Chains A and B, each alone.
Chain A
């Protein structure tokens, strides 16, 4: 048994993520068990050896992300999967991966925090952690699936973005999306777009600059390369005091993402040009908007939505567009306001931004709850 064959499967979100990783070329996984992300590790522990890959359980999440960074520098596509508490432990090294331009994928299956919280229950409290969790001037790429199909599709995309921009990419999932089962259409391997990191020519020496995304050598290929989290010049030479070297490096690292923010920021949108009430949602919470909008329309309320598939870089353009049409924008989240503030930053003054927040017990915001608020706000 090799990579998943073309066909329609009935998979759990975690399984779809694991199979997509293998199809995208991932051959190394390191992780530490944590509810509700353990199924990804469990599945990859079984499957990776079948494709000559390696899955390893480390002593904790700090070691796990370290192993993934190391594996990426041997030339492998590598990933880890965790939940909020483990994601926090990984934060320092996520900064290291960003600074050393190490492509890798981190899956965060969100549960109800802070701390141990309600470990088996769903939450969306890590949105800001995924953006600002590490220290220093940092830009994150964070994707947000809302179905098992997207656990598949966006895992492939996460690897592609990591390779294209040579940077860590976060798949920000949640308990509901990772645990539910749905049918998944798996295309043939020829139909899946796969991006691989730019490799150096034998004469190349600048692996940390000169171009927006420099080529990345692998350990053992004979290139003279020092990988360091200290500020370094284009050739990897440490420069711990020169202001210009630091400015040049850190600005390039951020710009290589921010300059392509619009290409990276994907959304699903509906009726954004002709609505009175707009909704901005993502992840499991966004599963309530389809029925809510359908009901609202039967009641004659013009409703539209922007569903975020990319959370960071934040898709400003489609939200601005929604705000031009909608008088009010509802932002339902399973946290105490996180994306709300981002929507506000982009759309305040154009539309009124209304937060809808629900936490605890893993209970989703239902279409009926959302509809009640749409009706109330449309009056």
Chain B
């Protein structure tokens, strides 16, 4: 039983925290830290019986996460003040969106950069507005800059010069060169308002984006957190709307993300015990690789299974760009090492 298994068992509620041996907490805490989920775990186990030292650490984590969320929402407000006067509308994505919408996965969720989505024609104006409002370019490498602008789904990251916070301005949710091209315009048009006036994706689109981010756009590094997001989102949306799974299916179809969303749902079932409706509740052989990749974390928080990591790294690039371009890209990156 690896530390990552114990971590997901605790999150899923399959294991009572009171039954953990004294030697197990170290591994769970390190694995949770490595997955950026320690504060999430602290929320999940807020009422559980844990050793006093763990309870104190969890209390620290909950308080720190609450402050970090407040700061992340403030950053969203700063972006609104920079963009709204120029008539540029944006949709919040990922962690900041979950916090703005008060969704359950935001409890303790670590929020890194501010991610926003604008329609493609507004991207350059948004960049200018942000540059005028104190954000600066981070990447000085011309190849990376060019790569972002030509092929990616977002601008090169910008950082605010006094607040030291990054913003990622997206115009769609997967790289331009990706095999799948979701309908970003439909996502923006169907966005909904959170209670404090920020636009966030509709429930089905939010789950689609979460699944795309997890399964289609990376090497699954830190994927347990994204999968937890997906699990909480779909569970809560389905509880509020009996037709949610059907809507999600239709929306995934529209974005070309059906297999991706299906897989995320099955992994949420396998790892976090999600209950899936009939039709979703299937068993697919390839999922085993994903489960192994997601749980490849030892009791010192280290990534395990180097070969599997490399395989998923290559897969992420394979999905992201056509073969000739991939060869060129990896060659350029390798020469610069």
Chain A bound to chain B: no
